[in-house]
A and B are shown apart, each in its own frame.
Chain A
């Protein structure tokens, strides 16, 4: 994919540039999708910690399946839900590598629940970026385990009925109960202040791995405006006003 290069006019100093860890490929995310923000935050963290040359990323099945195109580091594509097991294999085979998985809520919290819980419980020294946008984006907007009660999706056309489909799964709260994990936090990126907080959390999650502290997971509550059929601006509002009621932000476990 080609991109238009932006010429910096003479006398101007660029203050906001593309992270070195990102390639020139264009993101494939929809307009207003929050993925683009924290994909970038992950790249910024890799740059800031200077670990690009020893990082291996794990692309999930879902909207981030093209992740290996976006990054300038080694990458592996995992089967749906299995990223934490794949990460375990890589990290155990070569503990010098910095291994991160990047998974959606269908991937991590439905089909990959067992792999996630057990990697966390073993305290695998890996970093997990967990995108909770309450929906299956790539496949067309089906109910996720995190879908809010009453929320309409293509498989809950009358809204999620908790009597038949259960309640939104709070994975981070579950994992925080375990002895294994080092750092479990829930963040959001719907405004600048929260982007900065999420950025710090992602850096901490990678730093933990460098320091050998064990399993770190950053959950990011995100919007999928395309599939909930709202505008990008309404998407930000959706997260702030609806989603956070069910998924309050903050650190759930910090072991120092």
Chain B
């Protein structure tokens, strides 16, 4: 059965179905519906909903709940995510699973509440201090948001790496039919023998990102990066659309990826052989599949709601095999398919 939901609501409902039982938040637009949905629904499932005094407190409550072994989540939008970065670094360092949702808006600074993709670097390259990565999943529809939230909890538990859902204001606000995923039975959620449950009949567990000895800490980080290498090997996800005969490949994610799908259809109607490559995991980025396409497609046009952030990963993937122009909009402006199509026409042969 399909339900008409906003992206924010689908994200919240999927989190509950994924077994999230502790959710900590601080209000910010454009993710308000997510908070409201959790406030109404999570307590009915025996979960904890708590509005914290700040984003900083909320992410540290997530840190505590994750350490206690519970599936936990927080959500915010760009300025709030900046505040959470300290806590996210601690989650990564202490190997705690948790899900962080960023419904991106335009920045820097207070910016505005319109959809944007300016937090790509922050999400995929670290953001907080130290040598770490987040698993970053970028949905392009409310349906996909629901599915990726389920996946985020699974991957985060499996690898003990925090996962981020990188959405945007458009996706969060838009209503569309969603086929909700089946709830995960509690017994299917992996055991967490490392969690802080009281040292009863076992030696004490310690959750920490702290080690004064550089040689010991180096080993901790080597193990962490070994995990990251496994994630890079196993968890890369992307979508290809009409790429087989493409002469120009659009690369776009999230809301922009969705709009570019329309661009491909419009271009095809006009006889232009345009395809779309849509990364779903932004970290790990799908370098290899994009590189393979770059062997045969001469123009790879990156389209983002930013001045060009994912563009850098696209160029790293392509490594000079194709031309890599860029088209982006700033400040919360979302380009129309027609505007993107006219950009496409600058680069593709008639």
Contacts and interface: CB of A to CB of B under 8 A. Distances in A.
Q: Do A and B bind each other?
A: yes
A207 interface: no
B72 to A, nearest CB: 7
Nearest to A74: B196
Interface stretch (A6-14, A85-93, A140-148): A85-93
Interface in B170-209: 196-201, 204-209
A163 B86 CA distance: 32
Interface string B247-273: 000000000000000000000000000
Contacts of A233: none
Contact of A56 (B72, B198, B209): B198
Given A56-B196, A73-B199, A77-B94, A92 B61 contact: yes
A57 B48 CA distance: 21
A74 B198 CA distance: 6
A94 B68 contact: yes
Given A90-B67, A115-B60, A76 B48 contact: no
A132 to B, nearest CB: 22
B69 A75 contact: no
B65 A92 contact: yes
Interface string A82-115: 1001111111111011000000000000000011
A82 B206 contact: no
Contacts of B322: none
Nearest to A59: B208
Interface stretch (A47-55, A150-158, A167-175, A247-255): A47-55
Contact of B62 (A76, A89, A114): A89
Contacts of A72: 199, 204
A38 interface: no
A71 interface: yes
A162 interface: no
B199 A89 contact: no
Contacts of A118: 52-53, 57
B207 A75 contact: yes
Given A93-B22, A93-B68, A76 B207 contact: yes
Interface residues of B, number: 40
A240 B290 CA distance: 71
A86 B24 CA distance: 11
Given A88-B61, A88-B64, A90-B67, A79 B198 contact: no
Interface string B8-36: 00000000000001101000000000000
Interface in B51-88: 52-54, 56-58, 60-70, 72, 86-87
Contacts of B207: 75-77
B210 interface: yes
B50 A115 contact: no
B61 A68 contact: no
B192 to A, nearest CB: 12
Contacts of A37: none
Contacts of A90: 64-65, 67-68, 196
Given A82-B56, A92-B22, A94-B70, A75 B206 contact: yes
B64 A87 contact: yes
Contact of B87 (A59, A79, A92): A79
B90 interface: yes
Nearest to B86: A79
A53 B70 contact: no
Interface of A: 52-56, 59, 65, 68, 71-79, 82, 85-94, 96-97, 114-115, 117-118
